Amino acid sequence: MPVLKRNPKPKAGLRIIVVGCGKVGKTLVEQLYSEGHDVTVIDQNAQRVSDVAAAYDVMGVTGNGASFSTLMDAGIEKADVIIAVTQSDELNLLCCTVAKRVAKCSAIARVRNPDYGNEISYLREKLELAMIMNPELEAAREAARILFLPTALEVNAFANGQAELITFKLPTDNKLDNKDLMSLSTVTQASVLICAIERGGEVIIPSGSFTIRGGDTITFAASRRAAVKFFSDIGIKTHSAKSTMIIGGGKAAYYLAQKLIEGGTSVKIIELDRQRCEELSVLLPKAVIINGDGTDVDLLKEEGIEYVESFVPLTGIDEENVLLTLHARQISDAKVITKINRINFKDVISGLDLGSVIYPRYITSEAIIGYVRAKTESGDSNIETLYHLFDHRAEAIEFKVYEDSKVTDTPLMELDLKPHLLVAFINRQGKIIIPSGQDCIKRGDTVMIVTTHTGFNDISDILNEH
């Protein structure tokens, strides 16, 4: 097998093999390499392997990732983790199965086909996989969370869905405009913690003296009930979208429609392929399936785009999704969500009025990076959930605290915490605590921190080093 190598240097991280150099694979390699791991990539396309090996300090092997000899060339015997993210679900599962027979490594597979949807737990258990990721399903979950709270730009779930990290843009002349955080209780009694604010391109982890201004993009932690009360108290109307128009009938559209229908939302899907329309009619009997071109302006008008409460273009072409969103913005008041697969033009995209933007490959990579970080650290806590905020300029990390340590049983106000960091909530036996300075972290808690620092592996990383 041809092997490419580029100026390798010793690293302190894990030995990780990534099978598949597509969009998700490249994103994973970029993030894993930046966090100091020793990465090897495998792909059957020699040019893709060459491109990734040239862009990062990684080793590349051209070949079939499910082949024993290819895996041996890639160093599977000494690998800590194998991550299979090719376009084929079956190949991904086979890669992991072969790897598990050869080495004592953790295995992660991308599985996207809805046919496997009800079998994920069974497959994971029987094949002894650490994780099975479905980007389209995760993207649909994120979109559904936003549509159930349309005021938000972003909604990330923590503590098994009991707490959320919600991002929204504060209108000018709002009740919070020119209020400092210490006086937040004069406006709302909702139990929320404002964790991060973006203003003028800068991300700030605020202190109590920080003054909020209209136009700020605010991220706060709360339970869903507290979030709804918070929005109500500050005069922002919020209610679940009762109707949704989805353009494109692929996997993500199917998963999203399924979740919205379960939540009582009426769903209309416009799909060009007639056979796929027939499949969706059987899979989603409660949805309205229209066979037509979702980029046809006259068809969109005929199907009621002007009156729909939410609009989600889920075609496989980013440019179509962007143009459809901008069109919906012009002619309706619908809540819009834009799915973007490529990240090359993020600066341009962030300057457009696209509502909530979802990047499926980031959703996948963040879950995997969180797992890898937890595996890297064999300390007294593990990462449960990891999200990047504000284009990777801040992180929200949920830790499970397994043992007593320097951070436990001491009031937060007495801990020497790193700057630019907040303890957003403590989940104690299912109860979400928005902490004050008097609260303590205890063994058995899960704790979420928000910070502009990167690379935290353990809850003890929140402390200043001396």
**Lowest-pLDDT choice from 38-47, 242-251, 456-465:** 456-465
Which of 282, 305, 306, 308 is closest to 292 using CA atoms? 305
- Average pLDDT value over all residues in the chain: 89
Q: Give the fold, CATH level 3, of 243-358.
A: Rossmann fold (3.40.50)
The stretch 11-30 carries a mean pLDDT of: 86
Work out the percent of the chain whose per-residue pLDDT is above 70: 95
Residue 22 has pLDDT above 50, yes or no: yes
Question: Tell me, which fold does domain 363-462 have in CATH?
Answer: Alpha-Beta Plaits (3.30.70)
pLDDT reported for residue 380 = 55
pLDDT digits (tens, 9 = 90+) for 297-321: 999 999 999 999 999 999 989 999 9
Tell the burial category of 191 from Cβ atoms under 10 Å away from its Cβ (0-12, 13-18, 19+): middle
Cα separation, 162 vs 154, whole angstroms: 16
Model pLDDT for residues 164-222, shown as the tens digit of each residue: 999 999 998 899 999 999 999 899 999 999 999 999 889 999 988 999 999 999 999 99
Summarised one tens digit per residue, pLDDT across range 130-170 is 889 888 888 999 999 999 888 899 998 888 788 899 999 99
Whether the CB-CB separation of 338 and 357 falls below 8 Å is answered with yes
pLDDT of residue 344: 66
Tens of pLDDT, residues 341-382:
876 666 677 777 788 889 887 888 888 888 888 777 555 557
CATH of domain 3-133: 3.40.50.720
- Domain range annotation of the chain: 3-133, 243-358, 363-462
| pLDDT for residue 345 | 67
**pLDDT higher than 60, residue 11:** no
Residue 313 is predicted with a pLDDT of 96
User: What per-residue confidence (pLDDT) applies to 194?
Assistant: 95
* Mean local confidence (pLDDT), 271-294: 96
Residue, of 244 and 115, whose pLDDT is higher: 244
Residue of 100, 92, 76, 75 lying closest to 25 (CA atoms):
92
Q: How far is CA 218 from CA 120, 152, 206, 213, in A?
A: 35, 10, 10, 10
Between 120 and 281, the more confident residue is 281
Mean pLDDT on 261-270: 95
Predicted pLDDT at 12: 54
How confident is the model at residue 342, as a pLDDT? Answer: 76
Q: What integer pLDDT is reported at residue 381 of this predicted model?
A: 57
- Report pLDDT for 364: 83
Whether 106 contacts 76, CB under 8 Å: no
pLDDT, tens digit, for every residue of 99-133? 999 898 999 999 988 888 778 888 888 888 988 98
Sign of the CA dihedral with 231 first, then 258, 384, and 92 last: negative
Query: What pLDDT sits at residue 389?
Result: 86
